[in-house]
Amino acid sequence: MRQNNTWFLFDCIGFSLFNVIGIEKALGLGMPTWAAVCLGVITGAGGGVLRDILINEVPLIFRKEIYATCCLAGGLVYIGCLQGLGWAPEGSAVLSCTVAIAIRMLAVKYGWGLPTLKAEP
């Protein structure tokens, strides 16, 4: 069980860092803020999708778990701190990663999930 917790922690750190890297890269290329946040979510969650495909599992993003939503929250925090509050990129990145990791850990601990569509008969 301890090894699973370790992998989970590194997964959280990885997707939160890739989220920030995707946002920074998009902003550096002159993209609008909304596009940078979208690309950050795609970058952060896309790595998890690729990982799950390579290990032959259903990707987390296609299950009920909160995954891309954590990237979105972290990305909004990053942009808010960077552009809204005028923080340095490093401080914004630390807070962004902390928020994304905390939301993901709390979601798994308490079983939070997004609603799923049910097919009508």
Q: Where are the domains of the chain?
A: 16-110
Average pLDDT over residues 28-47: 95
SS3 65: strand
Angle, CA of 6, 44 and 8, to the nearest 5°: 10
Average pLDDT, the chain: 90
Residues 86-118 pLDDT 10s: 999 999 999 999 999 999 999 999 999 888 777
* pLDDT score of 121 more than 90: no
Angle, CA of 48, 51 and 56, to the nearest 5°: 125
Residues 45-84 pLDDT 10s: 988 888 889 989 888 777 777 889 999 999 999 999 999 9
CA-wise closest residue to 26 among 18, 16, 37: 37
* Helices and strands (DSSP H and E) totals, the chain: 4, 0
pTM of the model: 0.88
pLDDT band at 3 (very low <50, low <70, confident <90, very high): low
